[in-house]
Amino acid sequence: MNRIRLLPEHVANQIAAGEVVERPASVVKELVENALDAKSTRISVEIQAGGRSLVRVSDDGLGMSRDDALLCLERHATSKITRAEDLSAISTMGFRGEALPSIASVSRFTLNTREHDGTIEGTEIVVNGGKIVAVKAGGGAPGTSVEVRQLFFNLPARRKFLRSEETESAHIQHYLTLAALAYPAVTFEFIKDGRMIWQLPGVKAEDKIAALRERLRGLYGADQKLLPVTFTGNLPIGASDEDNAAEEPAVDPALRVWGVIGAPGVSRSTRDEQHVFVNRRPVENRGINFALLEGYHTALMKGKYPVCALFIELDPSEVDVNIHPAKREVKFHHERAVRHIVADAVRKALLDFHTPAAVAKPEPKPAPAPLSLEPQAPAAPEHEPIELPNFPKLSKPLPNWPAPLPKSPEPSTLAVVAPPDQPVAHPHSSIPVPLLHVPLRLVGVIGKLYVVLESDRGLVLLDQHAAHERILFEQMLQRLEHQGTAPSQRLLLPETVELAARDTTFLREQLPTLTRLGVGLSEFGERTFLLDALPPFVKVSDPRRFILQLVDELKSVGQGVNTLRLGEHVIAKTVCRHAVKANDTLAGPELENLIEDLRHCQMPYTCPHGRPTIIEMNFKELEKKFGRTV
């Protein structure tokens, strides 16, 4: 007797449903993806009981003929691909043809569709548990409407594992949020238990970022400060990262990164508002998560995650979207190169926020207000090297740095002066104006720590310790950068470090880079390395842990790791000890110098540990706290 046999068609569909249809949100995802592939401009999603009793997705897309409607319920029937080679360059949201037959096999399924060819008659197909019950003529507007009732009615074990209605509804709304962000031009409606949750009109805008901002405003409100990201990089041609081949010079194909990210100080304790799209497909990718954290380096507190809606556009042949049953994860052909470009895009957006590349360097002008700190266009000041740990005192400005602005005998008014080539933004503009680019007037100091300032927008508070930390941190980094090759100090007792085979192969290729960084590491066996030298400012208590952290850093940012990264935590601790403390009383000129020095920093809005250096409470917030507005 044969022990191996072919499974019946309905059993195979139910097995496929176990991979594709995890919960009601999976049904919504597959149906909305089909609607988007059908070039829909309006998509309506209606659910009841968290999607258990009803999921209805209606669109105004291309629609289907009677024959196509019957064929789409067969396994692996699709209009997206025609041959195996198409799998290497997927440009549509769906492509495997498993969604509709899988959903129909575990629900009471109704499909109503009509083409845009002028015909009045459409097609209606009713399926119960994978068996076609009726095929008849139907009416309705052009497009497709799919109704899924009693999900998992024939699989009580699966239905038992569904969560509460609110939990399942939240998963559905989360996916619809991602779809709405990916396609701002499409109108989305979400109806829950007969009540309209939100209705997002399609945004018709030539500028992608402007359309994305409008869609974000409709979903989250307009309270968050978001920075635009526009960056283009080139992927290497040749072998992939896993081939361990030498990379050729970077040429086409190009990779474009665009979207919005949170301004310094905007973060979350979870990744709930971290949205990443690859060719408009919402994805999860650990490499991209690491790249975002790398881009925010020293601008994000430990345990915090960036807020972003970031779009990565590249040739479909450079990304594999077929590695996950639900298509949630993707794999890049050149993983490290993509990660490096994304990190550069985020870093450049943060730097441009305070130091726009297009702004010319103006001459400093005196301000009419007393202790008025008129913003200067942030230029890279050339100052003499500073001997550490003897940091300069704030009472004495650094050489060649702008002198404090002269005082005016009139202490009453605050002059609103915008830097040249950088006018003050319109109050309703969605692009935030850097806080250090607006005029500030010194009011006083509270608690011998927090400097109180006034701007034309409201109240500003500055943490003198955190601000001085950032200033000293960047001064020391500049000094070390100017030294070129890192100095190296021999260890009294060399240490041997044994690594896993995969880390060994990677580290062997990075030995020249480590030598440039001042790390004396050499092969000492098949999987063993000898550590005999380190940069003077790097203190290592556990050599193996240090090497593993170094491997992780190199994998994360490649050649972007420099001498400074190896001892950054030591530098941060050093400047923390030498920065002004909470009880150090500073005079007016010293505070002026502090803010002027902070304006010349590359990342002035956070200290080296990611804590904010300066915060703002605008007039709207003040009026709300005092009950003047609701």
198-243 pLDDT, tens digit each: 999 999 878 899 999 999 999 987 667 899 999 999 988 766 655 5
Q: For 72-93, what is each residue's pLDDT tens digit?
A: 998 888 888 878 777 788 888 8
Percent of the chain with pLDDT over 90: 37
Question: Which phi and psi angles does 214 have, rounded to 5°?
Answer: -65, -40
Contacts of range 439-443, beta carbons closer than 8 Å, 24 or more positions apart:
439/367, 439/369, 439/372, 439/373, 439/374, 439/375, 439/414, 439/415, 440/372, 440/373, 440/375, 440/595, 441/369, 441/370, 441/371, 441/372, 441/373, 441/414, 442/371, 442/373, 442/588, 442/591, 442/592
Q: What is the rounded CA–CA span in Å between residue 261 and residue 288?
A: 14
Task: State the pLDDT at residue 384.
Answer: 38
Weakest-pLDDT range from 6-10, 119-123, 274-278, 568-572: 568-572
Which residues, 6 or more positions from 183, have their beta carbon under 8 angstroms from its beta carbon?
36, 280
Task: State the pLDDT at residue 510.
Answer: 78
Q: What single-letter amino acid sits at 134?
A: A
Task: State the pLDDT at residue 43.
Answer: 97
Query: Binning pLDDT at 50, 70 and 90, where does residue 518 land?
Result: confident
Average pLDDT over residues 111-122: 89
Residue 64's nearest CA partner among 35, 87, 43 is: 35
Average pLDDT over residues 49-66: 95
Average pLDDT over residues 96-114: 91
Task: State the pLDDT at residue 36.
Answer: 95
pLDDT of 326 > 80? The answer is no
Q: What is the rounded CA–CA span in Å between residue 554 and residue 233?
A: 19
Task: State the pLDDT at residue 241.
Answer: 58
What length is written for the chain? 630
Average pLDDT over residues 48-53: 96
Q: What single-letter amino acid sits at 481?
A: E
Percent of the chain with pLDDT over 70: 79
Output the average pLDDT for the chain: 80
pTM: 0.77
126-127-132-135 Cα dihedral, nearest 10 degrees: 10
Q: What is the rounded CA–CA span in Å between residue 18 and residue 102?
A: 8
Q: For 8-26, what is each residue's pLDDT tens digit?
A: 877 777 777 777 888 999 9
Residue written as tokens 């949170």?
Answer: 262
Q: What is the rounded CA–CA span in Å between residue 326 and residue 3?
A: 31
Task: State the pLDDT at residue 214.
Answer: 92
Angle between helices 165-182 and 24-37 (to 10 degrees): 20
Task: Tell me the Ramachandran region of residue 518: left when phi exceeds 0, alpha when psi lies from -120 to 50, beta otherwise.
Answer: left
Q: Tell me which DSSP letter residue 89 carries.
A: G
Q: What is the rounded CA–CA span in Å between residue 276 and residue 606?
A: 24
Q: For 424-438, what is each residue's pLDDT tens digit?
A: 444 444 567 788 888
Three-class DSSP category at 573: helix
Average pLDDT over residues 459-465: 93
Q: What is the rounded CA–CA span in Å between residue 228 and residue 262?
A: 9
Residue written as tokens 């005092």?
Answer: 626
